[in-house]
Structure 1
């Protein structure tokens, strides 16, 4: 793919009947979870260090297909004071990959009444393609504010200058696509980047914190107001990670550290009782965590109509 070439998102269907947004109130802060669609991936991605029999048994227990299934792609919009903050930007559109049901964010932001020009800040949990790709869709940069601030860990930007895929286990084509997307993103948005080391307050009650593991600069976003708390965990937590937090996800660049980070984070969330949202938990991905011995239990929130 030509690094400088624009890409166009597929045309939206006139009537999208799939649930695509869910609102949560955290004190005085409004949080909107938006689905970017689904990403079909091999089930081996869930735990490539696990025995096939163990992985198959878990899939059967969860009534999931054994070979491949759809991973949710969730993005969050936060309104705090006069700031509108987009947390991650979805997959966008890569003509070299056949992913027709992903990359829906721009269409669904419009459907939710959120104008791209109203976004004051973007927070990136990390720079994988399914988190920055929406910013690379043709026409998006021109629709964003010229004074847009994009918050990302300095360690993340440094990592993508020469990324290491030696410990990952990805389908063919993904490493090249990830490298291309990260490179194009930095070229396109270098002047808007606001890099931080370990922690940064984006807005009142909205703090981004680097935790590493999945990628060196992988970060979570903490939202707190009026005694309520919610953490957007990005790719630190996957569905299988509650039952098998030691299983290695194929997209983790340091899987051993990612497992340690996951356990620490889940124990913390269980202790605080706060709400959790994550990129690849089933939409709308709002729930809480409980400890069950050496593993965890996911308690999804009841939908509030």
Structure 2
């Protein structure tokens, strides 16, 4: 048992790791795959560095920000759908990620009951869990994996010329290749939109990657959008900020603003991969900008 700072509890129990809610008749569970420390200077790459740093200090954010790794499990129409699969073992030096198999068990979810996976895009922190034997060995042989055809084509031979991040291109390239090779028979590529189960729709947006998608859940007049990497920390308050991980920075900005406007208009639940767990909240209009309103937890 790994103890942390003298605590009596295992490290993975120090923070909540799963949170359940419902959208109409659809069960939704947000699960944390951990967190990854990311230098703050990958944010706001298109704005003055001093202004960016002042904005981050005003939000009490450090020079290295913990980005959450949120995945979602949805049950609808007799299907159990995993939306994204976390990091797995693709970055072994990151000690606080790759916990999806453990966290699914903790949440009472048998990986063998998962019928479908939706990958919002083919970055290692979204498909890595599917390459990790701790999870992969428990998945069913008839698993269906839904990802946009555009992303499959792009990651057959990825182009990083528009990215400004350094040091992880090789990991992204290697993990995407492993994923496409390992699951070539399970892949169910879609073009623009695909309803995986009643009320669970994957929609191509582009931007973050050319084939990046979001997932919308709707039932009984209620809605939720899982925005994947369409926005990252400070992305709601500063939607014009580009970040070093976007493959199409200008398009990513347009996608982000469009999604935020839609969420503000509908009042729907809204969450994203890298916001602090469980990331569920609402988007409000704040003058010419947006504001994030965390949802009250239902205990």
TM bracket (short chain):
over 0.9
Deviation at 1:139, TM superposition (A): 4.5
- SS of 2:260's partner is helix
- In the alignment, what sits opposite 2:20? 23
- In the alignment, what sits opposite 1:289? 283
Counterpart check, 1:90 vs 2:93: no
- In the alignment, what sits opposite 2:77? 81
Residues in 2 aligned to 1:21 and 1:249: alpha-carbon distance in whole angstroms: 28
**1:73–1:198 distance in 2 versus 1, CA, 3 Å:** same
Cα deviation 1:229-271 (Å, max 9, x = unaligned):
0000000022312222111111100000000110011001100
TM-score (norm 1): 0.93
Aligned-residue Cα RMSD (Å) equals 1.4
How many residues of Structure 1 are paired with residues of Structure 2 in the alignment?
291
TM-score (norm 2): 0.94
Q: Spell out structure 1 runs of 4+ moving beyond 6 A.
A: none
- SS of 1:191's partner is coil
Equivalent of 1:188, from 167, 171, 182?
182
Aligned partners of 2:67 and 2:233 also within 8 Å = no
Matches within 5 A, 1:266-277: 266-277=260-271
Cα deviation 1:178-217 (Å, max 9, x = unaligned):
0111000011111000010000000001010001100111
Counterpart check, 1:60 vs 2:60: no
- In the alignment, what sits opposite 2:95? 100
- In the alignment, what sits opposite 1:3? none
Counterpart check, 1:42 vs 2:36: no
Residues in 2 aligned to 1:248 and 1:26: alpha-carbon distance in whole angstroms: 31
Residues in 1 aligned to 2:135 and 2:16: alpha-carbon distance in whole angstroms: 23
- In the alignment, what sits opposite 1:5? none
Residue ranges of structure 1 left out of the alignment (5+ in a row): 1-12
**1:286–1:15 distance in 2 versus 1, CA, 3 Å:** closer
Deviation at 1:14, TM superposition (A): 7.4
Residue ranges of structure 2 left out of the alignment (5+ in a row): 1-9
- In the alignment, what sits opposite 1:10? none
